[in-house]
């Protein structure tokens, strides 16, 4: 088969490139376990790279080239650098390209078997064998370059890692695990998310870039300089490093960054009380959420950040801290990322169990009656018994039904509880 015939075959394959690429990616997905943990957006990127390589290889085969051009090699180095930034293992990436290359040769041969002679198949195989060496070397070089840059500024890399978690760029357990391994980190998972700001700079007193969507809300400079991928204006967050300096981590590595004028911290659940104490002992106010997986930090960040933005001053209490229930109620009121069920679970928690049904009934009756003595008469219990039950409610939920804001949180949850 001559060059013109190869060009015709290549054009036909190019017209059906989407189906060819889908089959190649499906084989990579099946045979390379690391790729089974990728998020759909990452798989979309894999398909785009596979489509480029298929198209480029067919062009080179038609032209009788012996391998990839220098610009192709440089592009592959860029892919390697990107995979290092993502925390993806270079071994898995190289294996994926080898599996994909072998699949491509086989599929092309199957699709055009009646028109390809031995010389054509040999030329295609030789091209891909040469190319896979170039691909492997280029990916490894780019990956090593990026990894070396990360190693030269570990703190910056850690902040970037947390920034990526907050905007949802690290959305699978496998990617998070690989990224942490490259950085030499053992991040808490599950982790407690803390978003805090100086109390002397209340929300709304100065323009802030939108941070709920993760778009254009770049990290912020201060005691901890932000880098990350956002493009928003930088704002100083005085004393942000104090959040780490004044706690003693229990084992897992805490992560700290600053975004949109606020410090953002991830700590192990066992360290959350220390952070709350630090916030309460200084002119700071913050939102401390319940533990959740690292892959859920993007939604958690929006919840906490929006809570700080919308909470009335009296919601912070003497400790200057909002909790999960506070944030969920605020989100429910403001159309944020919270469902009625999430509000019930966050605010009422143990009261929803069958064993504490009497406490939930007591709380509802108390809110309906407006006074302890009236509620006690309604329930046919002694007023001291009712007060004891309300103390139990406070101990179990962390919300005092006698104080205005905690009462509002509990009453809101009771109103939507089944």
Asked if pLDDT for residue 236 goes beyond 60, the answer is no
**pLDDT (0 to 100) of residue 151:** 60
Residue 198: the pLDDT is 83
* DSSP β-ladder status, 255-259 and 262-267: antiparallel
Read off φ and ψ for residue 30, nearest 5 degrees.
-75, -35
**CA of 401: how far to CAs of 240, 304, 333, in Å?**
33, 23, 19
- Owner of token pair 């089959």: 23
> What pLDDT, on the 0 to 100 scale, is given for residue 2?
62
Q: Tell me the β-bridge partners of 263.
A: 196, 258
pLDDT over 80 at 86, yes or no: no
User: What is the C-alpha separation between 31 and 99, in angstroms, rounded?
Assistant: 8
- The helix or strand, by DSSP H or E, that contains position 413, with its residue range, turns out to be helix 404-416
Contact by Cβ (8 Å): 268, 191: yes
Q: pLDDT tens, 317-358?
A: 888 899 999 999 999 998 887 889 999 999 999 999 999 999
Q: Give the pLDDT confidence score for residue 158 in this predicted structure.
A: 84
pLDDT of 44-65, one tens digit each? 888 898 888 888 888 887 888 8
Find the mean pLDDT for residues 392-405: 93
Mean pLDDT score, 268-290? 86
362 close to 379: Cβ distance less than 8 angstroms: yes
Stretch 19-42: mean pLDDT: 84
Over residues 373-396, the mean pLDDT reads: 93
Going by C-beta distance under 8 Å and a sequence separation of 6 or more, which residues neighbour residue 412? 329, 332, 333, 343, 347
Same fold, 3-152 and 350-416: no
Looking at residue 329, its pLDDT comes to 94
Q: Which residue has the higher pLDDT, 151 or 215?
A: 151
Mean pLDDT of the chain: 81
Region 187-215: mean pLDDT is: 63
3-state secondary structure of 288: strand
pLDDT band for 215, please (50, 70, 90 cuts): very low
Give me the CATH topology for the region 350-416: Arc Repressor Mutant, subunit A (1.10.10)
DSSP string, 158-190: HHHHHHHHHTTS--SHHHHHHHHHHHT----SS
pLDDT value for 1: 57
pLDDT for the residue 289: 94
Q: What angle do CA 196, 277, 217 make, to 5 degrees?
A: 10
How sure is the predictor about 132, in pLDDT bands with cuts at 50, 70 and 90? confident
Query: Mean pLDDT, to the nearest integer, of 297-311?
Result: 92
Which pLDDT does position 300 carry in this prediction? 93
- Which fold is adopted by the domain 3-152? Globin-like (1.10.490)
Query: Is the Cβ–Cβ distance between 116 and 1 less than 8 Å?
Result: yes
Q: pLDDT above 70 covers what percent of the chain?
A: 85
Q: What is the DSSP letter of 16?
A: T
Provide DSSP, 82-112.
Answer: HHHHHT--HHHHHHHHHHHHHHHHHHHHHHT
Q: Kindly state the tokens that stand for 28.
A: 């990579």
Mean pLDDT of all residues in 164-168: 87
Bigger pLDDT: 6 vs 325: 325
Q: Does residue 173 contact residue 181 with C-beta atoms inside 8 Å? A: no
pLDDT digits (tens, 9 = 90+) for 359-384: 999 999 999 998 889 999 999 999 99
pLDDT of residue 217: 37
Q: How confident is the model at residue 202 (pLDDT cuts 50, 70, 90)?
A: very low
Q: Where are the domains of the chain?
A: 3-152, 156-337, 350-416
Measuring CA to CA, which residue among 134, 29, 181, 150 is closest to residue 92? 29
Query: Are the beta carbons of 400 and 411 closer than 8 angstroms?
Result: no
For residue 214, pLDDT beyond 70: no
Query: What's the confidence (pLDDT) of residue 87?
Result: 66
Under DSSP, is residue 312 helix (H, G, I), strand (E, B) or coil? Answer: coil
341's tokens: 């069920």
pLDDT of residue 204: 43
Lowest mean pLDDT among 171-180, 339-348, 403-412: 171-180
User: Does the structure show a pLDDT above 50 at 209?
Assistant: no
- In order, the DSSP letters of 217-284 are --B--BSS---SS--PPP--BTTTTHHHHT----SSPPEEEEETTEEEEEE-GGGHHHHHHHHHTTTE
Tell me: pLDDT of 33 over 50.
yes
The larger pLDDT score, comparing residue 23 to residue 248, is at: 23
pLDDT for 169 beyond 50: yes
Tell me whether strands 284-288 and 321-322 are parallel, antiparallel or unpaired.
parallel
Q: What is the pTM of this model?
A: 0.58
- pLDDT value at position 238? 54
Structure tokens at 51: 């489509």
Matching residue, tokens 């992560």: 255
DSSP per residue, 25-51: HHHHHHH-GGGGG--HHHHHHHHHHHH
Higher-scoring residue by pLDDT: 2, 135:
135
CB 347 within 8 A of CB 399: yes
Average pLDDT over residues 282-298: 89
pLDDT in tens, 96-117: 888 888 888 788 777 776 776 7
389 Cβ contact partners less than 8 Å away, ≥ 6 residues apart: 358, 359, 362, 363
CA geometry: angle 139, 144, 147, nearest 5 deg = 125
């Amino acid at each position: 088969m001559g060059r013109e015939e190869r060009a015709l075959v290549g054009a036909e394959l190019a017209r059906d490139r989407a189906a060819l690429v889908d089959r190649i990616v499906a084989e990579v997905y099946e045979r390379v376990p690391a790729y089974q943990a990728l998020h759909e957006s990452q798989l979309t990127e894999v398909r785009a790279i596979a489509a480029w390589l298929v198209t480029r290889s067919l062009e080179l085969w038609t032209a009788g080239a012996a391998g990839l051009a220098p610009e192709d090699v440089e592009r592959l180095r860029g892919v390697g650098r990107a995979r290092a930034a993502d925390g993806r293992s270079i071994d898995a990436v190289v294996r994926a390209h080898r599996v994909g290359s072998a699949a491509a040769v086989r599929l092309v041969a199957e699709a055009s078997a009646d028109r390809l002679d031995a010389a054509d198949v040999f030329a295609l195989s030789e091209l891909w064998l040469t190319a896979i060496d170039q691909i492997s070397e280029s990916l490894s070089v780019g990956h090593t370059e990026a990894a070396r840059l990360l190693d030269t500024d570990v703190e910056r890399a850690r902040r970037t890692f947390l920034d990526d978690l907050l905007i949802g760029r690290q959305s699978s357990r496998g990617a998070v695990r690989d990224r942490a391994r490259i950085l030499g980190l053992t991040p808490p998972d599950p982790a407690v998310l803390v978003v805090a700001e100086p109390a002397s700079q209340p929300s709304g007193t100065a323009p802030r870039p939108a941070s709920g969507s993760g778009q254009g809300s770049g990290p912020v400079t201060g005691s901890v300089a932000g880098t990350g991928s956002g493009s928003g204006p930088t704002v100083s967050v005085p004393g942000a490093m104090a959040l780490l300096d004044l706690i003693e981590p229990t084992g897992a590595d805490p992560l700290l960054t600053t975004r949109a004028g606020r410090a953002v911290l991830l700590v192990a659940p066992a360290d959350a009380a220390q952070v709350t104490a630090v916030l309460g002992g200084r002119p700071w106010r913050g939102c401390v959420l319940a533990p959740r997986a690292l892959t859920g930090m993007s939604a958690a960040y929006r919840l906490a950040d929006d809570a700080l933005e919308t909470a009335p001053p009296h919601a912070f209490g003497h400790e200057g801290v909002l909790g999960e229930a506070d944030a969920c109620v605020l989100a429910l009121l403001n159309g944020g990322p919270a469902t009625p069920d999430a509000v019930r679970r966050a605010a009422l928690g143990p009261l929803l169990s069958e064993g504490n049904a009497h406490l939930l009934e007591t709380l509802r009756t108390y809110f309906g009656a407006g006074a302890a003595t009236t509620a006690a008469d309604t329930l046919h219990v002694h007023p001291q018994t009712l007060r004891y039950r309300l103390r139990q409610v406070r101990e179990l939920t962390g919300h005092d039904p006698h104080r205005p804001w905690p009462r509002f949180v509990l009453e809101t949850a009771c109103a939507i509880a089944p």
